[in-house]
């Protein structure tokens, strides 16, 4: 009985002190996941290599790319980490391409949102900084550069 009371008090205190983080997590997970329909990838344009970045993982280790453009100098070595490595890691763990893309897009919203929140909150210790941190995090997560086209070059780290 005492454990339940302590656990409930701990959860209440955790939610009371960190409610903006939970709001950021809620917004940063639900909104991007609503963009995915019927198990389909979000892709467009000529970004063929990003349909499955794991296909070019080992090709990125070399200065010559034999898989793109019938062979060409490899100008995408910077895509090796974290983007392509992320996809290969989760492919090896057995996730589907759609679920890997979902995780990638959610992390691209949640991690910057939480980072900006803690940046703003660390500027001042008063309670109003939590609300300012929440507003700043949401505006940073959904700025006009991101909202216009979700999977632009900027989402490919």
Q: Among 1-10, 31-40, 74-83, 148-157, where is mean pLDDT lowest? A: 148-157
3-state secondary structure of 64: strand
What residues pair up with 65 in beta bridges, in sequence order? 72
3-state secondary structure of 73: strand
Q: Among 19-33, 91-105, 136-150, where is mean pLDDT lowest? A: 136-150
pLDDT, average across residues 28-35: 87
Does the pLDDT value for residue 136 go beyond 60? Answer: yes
Q: Which sign, positive or negative, has the C-alpha torsion 56, 62, 63, 64? A: negative
Does the pLDDT value for residue 119 go beyond 90? Answer: yes
pLDDT, average across residues 5-11: 75
pTM score: 0.75
Q: For 30, how many CA atoms within 13 A lie in the half-sphere containing its CB?
A: 6
**Which pLDDT score is estimated for 149?**
63
- In this prediction, residue 157 has a pLDDT band, given cuts at 50, 70 and 90, of very low
């Amino acid at each position: 009985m005492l454990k339940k009371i302590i656990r409930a008090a701990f959860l209440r205190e955790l939610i009371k002190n960190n409610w903006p983080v939970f709001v950021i997590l809620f917004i940063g997970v639900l909104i991007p996941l609503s963009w995915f329909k019927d198990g389909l990838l979000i892709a467009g344009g000529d970004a063929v290599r990003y349909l499955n970045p794991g296909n070019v993982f080992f090709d990125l280790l070399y200065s010559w790319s034999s898989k793109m453009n019938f062979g060409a100098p490899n100008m995408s070595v910077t895509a090796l980490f974290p983007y392509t490595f992320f996809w290969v890691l989760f492919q090896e763990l057995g996730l589907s391409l759609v679920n890997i893309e979902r995780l990638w897009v959610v992390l691209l919203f949640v991690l910057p949102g939480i980072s900006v929140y803690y940046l703003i909150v660390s500027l001042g210790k008063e309670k109003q900084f939590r609300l300012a941190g929440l507003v700043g995090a949401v505006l940073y997560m959904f700025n006009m550069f991101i909202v216009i086209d979700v999977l632009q070059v900027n989402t490919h780290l």
